[in-house]
Structure 1
Amino acid sequence: MGEHPDAAVVRRACTAFQQGDLDTLSTLLTADVMQHVPGDNMISGHHKGRDACMELYRTEFEETGGTLRVDLESVMPDGRGHVISGHHVRAERGNRTLDMKTGLFFTIVGGKITDIDQCVEDIDAINAFWGR
């Protein structure tokens, strides 16, 4: 059996993000996509719309000076439009470092990502890394 189509969309999106290919990534998101980022820091909150999400990703790359590395470890679809992905994230920002497991909960409709909920191993560490 091949990979479930929803899992394939998430895998393509994660690969595009890791490669900094935001053009490809943007084609996998609906115009009204929403990304929810936990914590109380400069990138946390609800990012509504493809443009807002793309700005979030550009900010993450710029603020980490190209050190952001998000290694995909697992992709698990439920067959009903949801996919959970597990990642190992590493980055540097100024004198701060980030090294932790994270997870994303995706909603897929019509072969595109409509919603992304991010979960992190340590919210305090994320807040300290990104600051205000």
Structure 2
Amino acid sequence: MAEHPDCALVRRGYEAFAQGDLDTLATLFTADVTHHVPGESLIAGHHKGREAVLQLYRRMAEETRGTFRIELQRVMADGRGHVISVHKAYGDRRDRGIEMMNGIFFTIVGGKVSDLDECVKDIDVMNEFWAA
């Protein structure tokens, strides 16, 4: 059975993120895409608009000196424009490291990602890792 197109879209996004290919990521997002990052840290908040989301990803790479990476574990679609992904995040920043399971709830509109709502296994660990 072929993979659902919404899952394939999210999988392409993960592959582009892993390669640092922001040009490809930009083509997968709507112009008004929003990435919601939970917590209270320098990356937390509602990053609205394609350029703001790409800037978030640039900042994550800069803050971790390129060590931040994710390993996609699962992708599941509901067939109504929603996808849930589960991934493991790794990175080093200053004197801290992180290795944690996370997930993202995606909304797909017109074959593009319009919303990413991130969930994390341990918000305190994430806040500490990304502390200002």
> Shorter-chain TM-score: which interval?
over 0.9
Paired residue for 1:16? 16
Paired residue for 2:30? 30
Alignment partner of 1:79 is 2:59: no
> What is the root-mean-square deviation of aligned Cα atoms in Å?
0.5
Paired residue for 2:131? 131
Residue 17 of structure 1, CA deviation: 0.4
Alignment partner of 1:57 is 2:57: yes
Residue 129 of structure 1, CA deviation: 0.4
Letter in 1 for 2:57: Y
Q: How many residue pairs get matched?
A: 132
Distance in 2 separating the partners of 1:88 and 1:56: 18
- For residue 72 of structure 2, give the secondary structure of its aligned residue in structure 1: strand
Letter in 1 for 2:37: V
Alignment partner of 1:120 is 2:120: yes
- For residue 3 of structure 2, give the secondary structure of its aligned residue in structure 1: coil
State the percentage of identical aligned residues. Answer: 60
Kindly report structure 1 stretches of 4+ aligned residues shifted beyond 3 Å. none
Residue 80 of structure 1, CA deviation: 0.4
Residue 93 of structure 1, CA deviation: 0.3
Segments of 5+ residues of structure 2 without an aligned counterpart are none
Residue 67 of structure 1, CA deviation: 0.6
TM-score, normalised to structure 1's length? Answer: 0.99
